[in-house]
Amino acid sequence: MSVVERLSSLDPTSWAILLLIAVALFHVVPYLADPHRIRAYPGPWIAKLSDIWLGKVAADGHRSERVHELHEKYGTFVRIAPNHLSIADPDALQVVYGHGTGTLKSDFYDAFVSIERGLFNTRSRPEHARKRKIVSHIFSQKSVLEFEPHVRAHLIQLFKQWDRLCEGGQKGLSGDEGEGGWRGRDGRVWLDCLPWYNYLAFDIIGDLAFGAPFGMLVACKDSAPVAISAQDAMAKYGKEADYEVEHFPAVQVLNDRGEYSASMGVLPPHWRPLVKRIPWYSKGNQAVQRLAGIAIAAVAKRLASGVTDRRDLLAKLQEGRDDNGNPMGRAELTAEALTQLIAGSDTTSNSSCAITYYLAKNQRVQEKLQKELDEALAGNDDPVAAFEEVKRLPYLEAVINEALRIHSTSGIGLPRVVPAGGLEVCGRWFPEGTVLSVPTYTIHRDKSVWGDDPDAFRPERWFEQDKVAIQKTFNPFSFGPRSCVGRNLANLELLVIVASIFRRYHFVLEKPDAPLETREGFLRKPVECIVGMKRRND
Ligand code: HEM
């Protein structure tokens, strides 16, 4: 009798016994054997036995908040999965993420791979060093200044649209769904600012990474061309093929993909092929394919147009050479352009949205910021502030940092694997293979660093608290060799966008007492942010 025949002839009691044996083998035995010596650490009991706890929390969209609650209950060290310890101590950042400690990204990042591994999801140290060498000079301060005209052009486009809506709002008119369903009341236009920040960020990064904006601001619509069934051809041959192109909502695709990959990545690799079949996950898997299709279509279009004199990210990627003088191949070029689209779009838009929410909620702060902007930009009629004019405005910087702290766009503890030889973190030793992370959302609320009111939006704390402690703890872009390579561009964008928008418009919240509702995949994203907006000179 074959094994299958034997199994199918078993009665329910035998099945229950088999199930118990399987649970014991896969969960209880490793727990008791404790290969990573983390049994003594507290955490939810199911998280100690199985990855299901973190899988469920990640899929529910509030991972940072749930892990933060655990740290409030149990203290600095919390076991959030059988082989994953969360350490809420700023001192752990340098060891877990810093240069020279030998930690590597965990298999969490495998769930983010499409086309081929890019700078963000490459786990091999030499492969990462090779890519980072090519990409890092593209984002040097000198280089990103060349991108400023693109940021400026799309902000002007946004102002054209918002000025029109403000005018309509003043007259009490309303707009259709395509424009986010705006309506005029009390001399203001009321709208959800989140989609507009998404259009702005996608057009800027589309322009920079692919050579042309997606046209979302002009069309007031979330839509991008996607190459269909092209990914296999890219993966196998790395060369151009004839792709069928369809249009999909890129922002939605990116949201679905972030939630899918961040939930899939916390599950053991051998579960993933099965879990992919569950309907919610299969929708996310489709998003991964579509996102790759956006990059394939955009890079193919750009390369087909021949030689260009544009000084954008794609041109610089094409010029890049590794240590052997080799340029990137077509598939790698596409994967890196996709990496920049993903990493450089909704990070900026969700952060801009959170900044707008906190300024609209805190009128005193908004007015103080506007005073600083009016003085610094007095006599300048240009609607868009130059980076040079706003790069050293102390209150503007404090406002942006305070919003990045409290909202924590990148809030989850980014998982790293302890290297051979083990690692000592905050006085505790961990053997090779243990997964460690430092939850940014939680250390951004550490009272010993930020003061007794960490949940309040108060930019003044940046002038009051200990500068060294702040510098050690503030972690929006992570630390070390895998920290954000696009940080200079993100800074430039946020400074220019926030300064220009708040100099031009005044914002109030529709529901001033309501918290900012969020949903977290890899990033903590606002769900919506309804504001009443008007031109300041009206
Ligand atoms: C407010 C905006 C931004 C925030 C908060 C942010 C945050 C981060 C964080 C926390 C990481 C580390 C991720 C990890 O270790 O898993 C990261 C990596 C990265 N970021 Fe950003 N980022 C922002 C904007 C940008 C922009 C504008 C770009 C480029 C266009 C960019 C490109 C990248 C890339 C390529 C990586 C991977 C770097 C590597 O592994 O070597 N980011 N970012």
- With residue 462 as reference, give the H or E element that holds it: helix 461-464
Q: Which of 400, 402, 396 is nearest to 462 (CA)?
A: 402
Using a 6 Å cutoff on CB, does residue 437 contact ligand 1? no
- What's at 194, amino acid-wise? L
What is the Rg, in whole angstroms, of the alpha carbon atoms belonging to the chain?
Answer: 24
Ligand 1 centroid to residue 345 C-alpha, Å: 10
Using a 6 Å cutoff on CB, does residue 345 contact ligand 1? no
For residue 135, the ligand 1 atom closest to its alpha carbon is 35
Please state, in angstroms and rounded to a whole number, the distance separating the CA atoms of residues 509 and 515: 11
CATH 3.40.50.1100 for the 34-535 domain, yes or no:
no
Tokens of 163: 């000025």
Least confident piece of the model among 275-289, 302-316, 500-514: 302-316
pLDDT over threshold 60, residue 189: yes
| DSSP structure class, residue 432 | T
Q: Which of 235, 217, 218, 216 is nearest to 227 (CA)?
A: 235
3-state secondary structure of 264: helix
Please state, in angstroms and rounded to a whole number, the distance separating the CA atoms of residues 505 and 353: 14
Terminal C-alpha separation, the chain: 85
Please state, in angstroms and rounded to a whole number, the distance separating the CA atoms of residues 357 and 407: 10
Please state, in angstroms and rounded to a whole number, the distance separating the CA atoms of residues 362 and 356: 10
Please report the pLDDT score of residue 167 as a whole number: 94
| Residues 143-175: tens digit of each pLDDT | 999 999 999 999 999 999 999 999 999 998 888
pLDDT over threshold 60, residue 324: yes
Using a 6 Å cutoff on CB, does residue 410 contact ligand 1? yes
pTM (two decimals): 0.93
Please report the pLDDT score of residue 124 as a whole number: 96
Please report the pLDDT score of residue 525 as a whole number: 96
ipTM of model: 0.99
- What's at 141, amino acid-wise? Q
| Residues 386-411: tens digit of each pLDDT | 999 999 999 999 999 999 999 999 99
Q: What percent of the chain has a predicted confidence (pLDDT) above 70?
A: 92
Residue nearest to atom 15 of ligand 1 (CA): 482
Q: What is the mean pLDDT of residues 279-298?
A: 82
Please report the pLDDT score of residue 242 as a whole number: 59
| Residues 67-117: tens digit of each pLDDT | 999 999 999 999 999 999 999 999 999 999 999 899 999 999 999 988 789
3-state secondary structure of 249: coil
Please state, in angstroms and rounded to a whole number, the distance separating the CA atoms of residues 367 and 508: 12
Ligand 1 centroid to residue 196 C-alpha, Å: 21
Q: What average pLDDT does the chain have?
A: 90
CA angle 63, 67, 71 (to 5 degrees): 165
Please report the pLDDT score of residue 209 as a whole number: 82
| Residues 347-388: tens digit of each pLDDT | 999 999 999 999 999 999 999 999 999 999 998 899 999 999
If one counts every other C-beta atom within 10 angstroms of the C-beta of residue 31, the result is 14
Using a 6 Å cutoff on CB, does residue 355 contact ligand 1? no
Least confident piece of the model among 49-53, 447-451, 453-457: 49-53
If one counts every other C-beta atom within 10 angstroms of the C-beta of residue 16, the result is 11
Ligand 1 centroid to residue 436 C-alpha, Å: 20
Q: How far is CA 482 from the centre of its chain?
A: 14
| Residues 264-285: tens digit of each pLDDT | 898 988 888 888 888 877 888 8
pLDDT over threshold 90, residue 137: no
Q: What is the mean pLDDT of residues 432-457?
A: 98
Please report the pLDDT score of residue 297 as a whole number: 81
Please report the pLDDT score of residue 24 as a whole number: 61
Using a 6 Å cutoff on CB, does residue 406 contact ligand 1? no
Please report the pLDDT score of residue 538 as a whole number: 62
Please report the pLDDT score of residue 354 as a whole number: 98
Ligand 1 centroid to residue 347 C-alpha, Å: 8
Ligand 1 centroid to residue 340 C-alpha, Å: 9
